Chain A
Amino acid sequence: MIKQRLVVLEVASFGVTLLSQSLVLAQSEEPEEFSEKILTEITLGKVLYGIFAILIAYGSFYIIQSLANWISERVPRRFRLIIKQSIPFWKGLILLITIAYLLNLFVRLSETNVVAVTGTVAVALGFAFKDYVSSIIAGAIALFEAPYRVGDRVRIEDHYGEVVGYGLRGIQVKTPDDNLVTIPHNKTWTEPISNANSGELEAQVATNFYFSHTVDFEKVIKILYQAAYSSRYTQLKLPIAVFMEEKFWGTQFKLRSYPIDARDEFVYKTDVIRRAKAAFAYENISYPKMTPPAEMMDEH
């Protein structure tokens, strides 16, 4: 994975160098001479080859995405994220090969021409597709910084869910409501990204319980620990902790624990609450009866 990233980084740094040089060189050429020297003879065959290459690349994208998703859902859990995280690399590799092939087909790839073409393209893109390019560069950088990877559970702005796709321009996040939200990579420049599992299978789940100030807190804490320990979803190898906080209206207990698979987060929370509530009912520990504040009523 590190080697793969280094290759992409080298390509990117080379591109940046060429961009800066091209601005100077592109201005020193006459336009007509420039186009004659820079382009190869364009024939119908070459155009067909080019279209064919683009179609193959597009098909490969689709096949790799589908195949990786299909395999990752069928292998044991511990290999799922490894397979999913390789998708951006394979897509990047196909993209690089396709671009190189098309350039080789239509452009005379001398050192001067490479500089001139990249410079011209960079200027054009810089004005016309600034945000698009910004997203692409942010996506390349995100491959190394890894604020999110395919399979991670992230919160970006108001959107929370599992990263299921990593495209050229953005990521696709599947929310708990089963909506697919596309978020451009350039959000990484400006927005904080909260990642719950950072490439691991487990992600911490915090479950809140509320009682009156006079509750037998020792009993509540014991039940909460046992609720987490007894849930079939709990990853016992990771720490389980209960925290208390005093509020003006009562006492808040927060159970922090990890499910075996971060995907089970909501079903896990439900299981823990079910178990705990049954035990509270058995022990005659009741919840405080109160009217929730207005801001809580507004929450969905």
Chain B
Amino acid sequence: MSDLWFKSIKNKINSWLTQPPSSESDEELMPIPDWLKEELQQRINNSPSPQAYQTYLRGAIAPAIESWKTDFNAPNTFVCLAPTIEPVGTILSDTLSSWDDLSLTIITPFQQFERPATIRLTAKKIRQALDSYPDIKNTDLDDLHISSPEDFQDSRKTVVVIPSLEQCFLRCISGWDSIEYFREIITKNNHYFWVIGASQSAWHFLDFVCQISAYFEIIESLPKLDDEMICDWLTPIAETLISLDKPDSSSNDLRQTYWDSIAHQSSGSSRIAQYIWLESLRMHKQTEEEVQELRTQLSETPAKSPSRILIHPDKPKLPKLPILTNLDRYLLHGILIHGIINRRHLAQTLGESESQIQARIQWLSRQGVLESRCGSLSIHPLYYDQLTVDLSQNNFFINSNS
């Protein structure tokens, strides 16, 4: 709790002290138009996740798999924990797609897995997802015995990826029976290596209700990205569309601290960093017609053309979290645990009717605290850090690593 408190104070001080001056005065600049922001956002989302994440995970997963292949009693799981807002499934998928051990087969039966409408059917849905792989034993688990050590190395060639464990349970009665079922499958199928992605909040909750950490030996958290990592990740993507006004590295240009400030305020999270960065971009003041002309020009101009728009960095800062009611906090805490959740399931986990929570969802969406995509709700990355601090100060259990 105090960790979160100090972290938020540290970030505030850092944001005050960081004032990267643009080469232009503030009066001459305006925020970039929404269409340009969306275009940049789309390009970031379609790009691979930061190399720093992939390098770290490869370095952590490779020895675990190696050990599992050579030692019969070695753990057959690797758990990767990340803040709720990080797309841990995508990061794992990016990491494993470029895996250099060709003897390994990587399967993803849960790539598009979502909670079923009736939560009691989650275990059944998991079983159905595994039915395509007859080698994975998913029924009569109580009667099964772990395979014998004889010739075990020949059978250990497949890695199963569970991209986001939080999509496999709901905080309601019988809502995490599916997790216990998963646990059994993983334990009984030690001839498969299981790579599991989960949000820290979901894992923390599951630790309380079914002591999940006790069953998994190797649990790693995503590393925090520093200023260089964020810069190396975002700059090449941005430069496929725009030109960035860069600081002069040979002089004492204060804009050198720009990326450092983004790294601090994002707490090393790629998703928060990308949003802060997008919000900090400015361009020369233009009329509506000129902006429209730019849009047309940009769609016609080849990506590497020198006539691209020059974008200036402004002081990066997080928006202020609005004043929340107690119902808002319960609602947001529910979403924090489940990552992405639809209204029906959210109402079920809160023990309310949908109509009871609808008004607050609308208000929180309008304030920008909630993101709504295809009918599912999630926390907006820009508010994530402040929200975890607010919840911990209001006596909600929040993992200090969140």
In the complex, whether A3 has a CB less than 8 A from a CB of chain B is: no
CB contacts (< 8 Å) of A5 on chain B: these are none
| Cβ B330 vs Cβ A232 within 8 A | yes
| B396 interface neighbour in A260, A271, A278, A279, Cβ under 8 Å | A260
| B174 interface neighbour in A201, A202, A226, Cβ under 8 Å | A226
Docked pose: A237 CA to B395 CA in angstroms: 10
Docked pose: A271 CA to B327 CA in angstroms: 14
| Cβ A231 vs Cβ B351 within 8 A | yes
In the complex, whether A46 has a CB less than 8 A from a CB of chain B is: no
- Contact size class for B? 20 to 34
Docked pose: A235 CA to B397 CA in angstroms: 7
Nearest residue, chain A, Cβ from B391: A76
| Cβ A230 vs Cβ B395 within 8 A | no
CB contacts (< 8 Å) of A236 on chain B: these are 205, 208-209, 397
In the complex, whether B83 has a CB less than 8 A from a CB of chain A is: no
Docked pose: A223 CA to B172 CA in angstroms: 10
In the complex, whether A131 has a CB less than 8 A from a CB of chain B is: no
| Cβ A232 vs Cβ B395 within 8 A | no
Given A76-B390, A229-B208, A275-B351, answer yes or no on A235-B395 (Cβ-Cβ < 8 Å): yes
| B172 interface neighbour in A76, A78, A201, A275, Cβ under 8 Å | A275
In the complex, whether B173 has a CB less than 8 A from a CB of chain A is: yes
CB distance from B288 to the nearest CB of A (A): 42
| Cβ A278 vs Cβ B395 within 8 A | no
Q: How many residues of A contact B (CB 8 A)?
A: 25
CB distance from A81 to the nearest CB of B (A): 11
| Cβ B393 vs Cβ A230 within 8 A | no
CB distance from A223 to the nearest CB of B (A): 6
| Cβ B173 vs Cβ A230 within 8 A | yes
CB contacts (< 8 Å) of A202 on chain B: these are 395
Q: Name, among A201, A202, A260, A275, the residue most crowded by chain B CB atoms within 10 Å (CB to CB).
A: A260
CB distance from B73 to the nearest CB of A (A): 32
CB contacts (< 8 Å) of B351 on chain A: these are 231-232, 271, 274-275
CB distance from B8 to the nearest CB of A (A): 12
| Cβ B397 vs Cβ A279 within 8 A | no
Nearest residue, chain B, Cβ from A260: B395
In the complex, whether B394 has a CB less than 8 A from a CB of chain A is: yes
Nearest residue, chain B, Cβ from A238: B397
| B395 interface neighbour in A77, A223, A275, Cβ under 8 Å | A77
| A230 interface neighbour in B172, B390, B394, B397, Cβ under 8 Å | B172
CB contacts (< 8 Å) of A279 on chain B: these are 173-174
Docked pose: A84 CA to B20 CA in angstroms: 43
CB distance from B112 to the nearest CB of A (A): 26
In the complex, whether A227 has a CB less than 8 A from a CB of chain B is: yes
In the complex, whether B282 has a CB less than 8 A from a CB of chain A is: no
| A78 interface neighbour in B173, B205, B209, B393, Cβ under 8 Å | B393
CB contacts (< 8 Å) of A237 on chain B: these are 397
Contact with A along B60-71 (1 / 0, CB 8 A): 000000000000
| Cβ B205 vs Cβ A223 within 8 A | no
CB contacts (< 8 Å) of A78 on chain B: these are 1, 393-395
CB contacts (< 8 Å) of B174 on chain A: these are 226, 279
Nearest residue, chain B, Cβ from A232: B330
Nearest residue, chain B, Cβ from A280: B173
CB contacts (< 8 Å) of A232 on chain B: these are 171, 330, 333-334, 349-351
Nearest residue, chain A, Cβ from B330: A232
CB contacts (< 8 Å) of B394 on chain A: these are 76-78, 260
| Cβ B208 vs Cβ A230 within 8 A | no
Q: Name, among B175, B393, B394, the residue most crowded by chain A CB atoms within 10 Å (CB to CB).
A: B394
CB distance from A275 to the nearest CB of B (A): 6
| B393 interface neighbour in A77, A223, A271, A276, Cβ under 8 Å | A77
Docked pose: A271 CA to B352 CA in angstroms: 9
Contact with B along A71-112 (1 / 0, CB 8 A): 000001111000000000000000000000000000000000
| Cβ B171 vs Cβ A230 within 8 A | yes
Given A229-B209, A236-B205, answer yes or no on A278-B173 (Cβ-Cβ < 8 Å): yes
Q: Name, among A231, A232, A233, A271, the residue most crowded by chain B CB atoms within 10 Å (CB to CB).
A: A232
Docked pose: A109 CA to B394 CA in angstroms: 50
Pairs A–B under 8 Å by Cβ, sample size 30 = A76-B390, A76-B393, A77-B393, A77-B395, A78-B393, A78-B395, A201-B395, A202-B395, A226-B173, A226-B209, A227-B173, A229-B171, A229-B208, A230-B171, A230-B175, A230-B209, A232-B171, A232-B330, A232-B333, A232-B351, A233-B330, A235-B395, A235-B397, A236-B208, A236-B209, A236-B397, A260-B394, A261-B395, A276-B173, A279-B173
Contacts A227-B173, A279-B173 supplied; 19 other A-B pairs, CB < 8 Å? A77-B393, A78-B393, A201-B395, A223-B173, A226-B173, A230-B172, A230-B173, A230-B209, A230-B349, A232-B171, A232-B333, A232-B351, A233-B330, A235-B395, A236-B208, A236-B209, A237-B397, A275-B172, A275-B351
